[in-house]
Amino acid sequence: MTDANSKSAQSNVEQYTFKAETRQLLNILIHSLYKDREVFLRELLSNASDALNRLRFEMVTNQNVLDPTAELKIHIQADKDSRTLVIQDTGIGMTREEVIENLGTIAQSGARKFIEATKDQQVDFAQVIGQFGVGFYSVFMVAESVKVTSRSYRPEAESVTWYATGEDNYTVGVGDLTERGTRIEIKLKEDAAEFAEDFRLRNIIHKHSDYIGFPIYLGEGNAPVNKQTSLWRTPRKDVTDEQYKEFYKQTTLDYEEPLLHVHMVTDAPVQLYALLFIPGKAERGIFALRKDDGLKLYSRNILIDEYNKDLLPDYLRFVQGVVDSEDLPLNVSRETVQSSGLMPKLKKVLTNQVIKELETLAKKEPEKYQAFWQEFGGHLKHGVASSPTDADALKPLLRFKTNMNPETWSSLDEYIGRMKNGEKVIYYILGDDPKSVLRSPHLDYFSGQGTEVLLLTDPMDSFMLMGLRDYKEYEFKNVAQAEVDGEKQAEAQNEAEKIPDEEFKSLVERFRQVLGERVTDVRASNRLSQSVARLVDPDGTLNPELQRVYRLLGKDYEIPKKILELNPSHTILKSLIKLESGSALQTAIIEQIYDSALLVEGLHPDPSSMVTRVQQIMEAALNGRTI
């Protein structure tokens, strides 16, 4: 895709001109100022590793190669005084034609997509370089000039040199490399002199290229500076628990032990290695190394994405760790990866495995799972609401407290196991906090019948219920709306001697006069036993779950007016009816009954406004007089 403009007078040296798109790309890289210029070394080491892998593959069937016994390695030499950096590998090398094709040409589509992606001034170049086939060109972010000398593995091939300064032209000529492989000589810019410091190079290698499967030598050292063998590619039987914990601590700087690790290797439906961890705490520590959600994504042991958010669903974003796939090309656009179906496959395999491991933890180590639930339960609730395809798998992992067991967590299966014979409904109640919800009048009937009810007091519960309609053959119902056995409740109220109908009607009318348009109606309840009153929704209004969602989201939404139901058997109402109708005390108590019902529902706009009235009622009670 490049054009030969002219041949120089020098022997066998040709000068070429970059295509317009490649010049534009180089201009972006040369003048980009961003914090992670170090990514150029990652790209060059990735290319070297790829060349070594290609040679190793070639030698499986062909021993007629140049220097067949030479060590497969990468060597880096830096000179801070001359600001030079040399990277040399003993890989497959390149012929003259391959140099022109690989270094003088960049796919127009790749260049165009890269240029499009970098129009955003806030773009993180470290996340896009290498995804559009432009990895080698990243060297021009730090280089005044670059000279690449290569000799192919083919015994008859000659050495070739490619030279460029990032301007419009580059040259190709005869090289001086006698051994197989490729040597890249970089003259660093003044503001990039740090990359000629051994300690800086060592840190970059540890960060990005520590697990390249070939030794990387630095300077005159005889020992590789990289680990080469990655823990996630090590057979599980050869890894100890201490090694897993140490790896987690090193990669996160979280000195709290992880709750769980997942080490997996699969070949189908996609090839991958993964080592995942669930932290001990949801909140990152002040010294945490990981500053964002996402997994480290490697391709053949080379880090290509520090924080990849496409490998797990959002509700599992707390998971830390590493994913490495042989199927993932090093230089490929994200669009290509997604359209190939690879990332969805990786995501599905990883998600299923994490859920499976959590199921095992819940069964074998319930106390440890409870610790997990305390920290990350809200994330699984989010998953039930946001991921319909995963909801059924997540439901057994949910945990709840109930009116009968308010101090312990129960699974849905445990709840069902305690049901009375013939029951087919899982009852729940929404509230603002675990203690006040137990005083809700909506529980009167169910507590009286010994029926267990799930206590949903987490803000996320209302969202979860949008995806939690049933479990196995059991339907979920809100106790505030559930039908009850009226005959059983009527018997209980008769025993408590209800207020005579005529007197109760006059009391209801008095409530209507005092409360006015704040309620849609006042009526007798057929299900209250311990509580004096409760608020219920008129027919046709949004269900309580959606009302709560709108309220929590801060939407411009007015809570519908409620119906106030009264308990005809309650002693407070029996005493209230004896007060002078229309008296200040009777009015104050009616107001307080209504405000208390609002408070229990979590709907009172200003609870402190009740203080004065409560004091007046207490004074009247203490003095035995009206106010």
Claim: this prediction has a pTM higher than 0.75 = no
Helix or strand run (H / E) with residue 332: none
- List C-alpha distances in Å: 252 to 246, 247, 320, 517: 10, 9, 8, 58
pLDDT of residue 9: 35
d(CA 5, CA 209): 38
On whether the CB atoms of residues 416 and 361 are closer than 8 A, the answer is no
Question: What would the two tokens of residue 258 be?
Answer: 């992880």
Please tell me whether residue 207 adopts helix, strand or coil conformation: helix
pLDDT of residue 526: 84
pLDDT of residue 327: 81
On whether the CB atoms of residues 482 and 546 are closer than 8 A, the answer is no
pLDDT of residue 494: 53
pLDDT of residue 291: 82
231-369 has which CATH code?
3.30.230.80
10-residue block means of pLDDT along the chain (627 residues)? Answer: 41 78 70 70 89 90 92 97 97 93 58 52 49 69 95 96 90 96 97 96 92 93 90 94 90 88 92 95 80 88 84 96 82 46 90 97 96 97 95 97 95 95 91 87 91 94 92 94 66 67 94 95 90 89 70 66 93 92 93 92 86 91 69
* Neighbouring C-alpha atoms within 13 Å toward the C-beta of 102: 19
pLDDT of residue 232: 95
pLDDT of residue 368: 96
- List C-alpha distances in Å: 167 to 25, 363, 431, 462, 511: 11, 64, 67, 60, 87
pLDDT of residue 554: 67
Question: What would the two tokens of residue 528 be?
Answer: 């209250």
Could you say which of 3.40.50.970, 3.30.420.40, 3.40.630.10, 3.30.565.10 is the CATH number of the domain covering 3-218? 3.30.565.10
Query: How deeply is 380 buried, as exposed, middle or buried, from its count of CB atoms within 10 A (0-12, 13-18, 19+)?
Result: buried
Q: Give the domain ranges of the chain.
A: 3-218, 231-369, 493-541+559-623
What kind of architecture, by CATH, is found in domain 493-541+559-623? Up-down Bundle (1.20)
Question: What would the two tokens of residue 395 be?
Answer: 């439901």
* DSSP tag of 400: B
Any idea which residue has 């106390």 for tokens? 367
On whether the CB atoms of residues 419 and 503 are closer than 8 A, the answer is no
